[in-house]
A = this chain, B = another copy of it.
């Protein structure tokens, strides 16, 4: 019964599914609010609040209060490294799910990630937007390019409303292992896709399936 740092305490914090989901969501590096994390984790707000208190108390998260918003973020790169190490083991050790990433084929192509689009199509879209200099990536951040406002205004998306959350955010796509676009812009694009009926959400699933003409329209607007 050797002595040492309280490794069980830290591990058990990560060991709850809800908290693990929150930590995963925070691995992008941007701080999120309690409500957002509650959605990510799939639990009610009180439950999320309780979990977040424990994570802060345990030293895994930092809390930044801004007005009536409280942003939670990873406490530091050491914590992120730990999560990554655990993820590596989980991935290596749990080959029970044969293919990596989401089970369903449709979900690998396109799915909802909280409020924006994820999957192969989303990753490709971000690539093209950056390629066309509409968006600009430096390091891990995504910013609006010079032609962004006019480009998105042309398809009915105002990039300057709702300053509450960051407009652009990179979100790591698990199935593709590369980033796709999150933030209010990502959300607006998903809204557009659904509003135009280019695609519909699969029942009781996060999968998003495009109709053939919808896919063409999507590609013309965002990939063209």
* Chain A positions near chain B (C-beta within 8 angstroms): 1-17, 19-21, 23-25, 39-42, 58-60, 75, 78-79, 81-83, 85-94, 101-102, 107, 113-114, 174-175, 206
Contacts and interface: CB of A to CB of B under 8 A. Distances in A.
A75 B93 contact: yes
Nearest to A92: B78
A25 B81 CA distance: 23
A8 B2 contact: no
A24 B7 contact: yes
A9 B94 CA distance: 10
Nearest to A88: B78
Judged by DSSP, the binding face of A is: helix
Contacts of A59: 89, 92-94
A84 to B, nearest CB: 8
A4 B60 CA distance: 20
Given A81-B85, A85-B82, A90 B3 contact: no
A40 B5 contact: no
A174 B12 contact: no
B78 A82 contact: no
Contacts of A89: 10, 59-60, 78-79, 82
Given A4-B87, A8-B15, 15 more contacts: A1-B39, A1-B41, A2-B24, A2-B40, A3-B101, A3-B107, A5-B91, A8-B14, A8-B21, A10-B90, A10-B93, A10-B94, A11-B14, A60-B89, A82-B86
A7 to B, nearest CB: 5
A21 B2 contact: yes
Contacts of A101: 3
Nearest to A27: B2
Nearest to A83: B7
Contact of A58 (B6, B14, B40, B93): B93
A17 B85 CA distance: 20
28 contacts: A1-B40, A1-B41, A2-B25, A3-B101, A3-B174, A4-B24, A5-B94, A6-B90, A6-B94, A7-B20, A7-B83, A7-B86, A8-B17, A8-B21, A9-B90, A10-B86, A11-B12, A11-B86, A12-B12, A12-B14, A12-B16, A13-B15, A14-B15, A59-B89, A59-B92, A59-B94, A78-B88, A85-B86
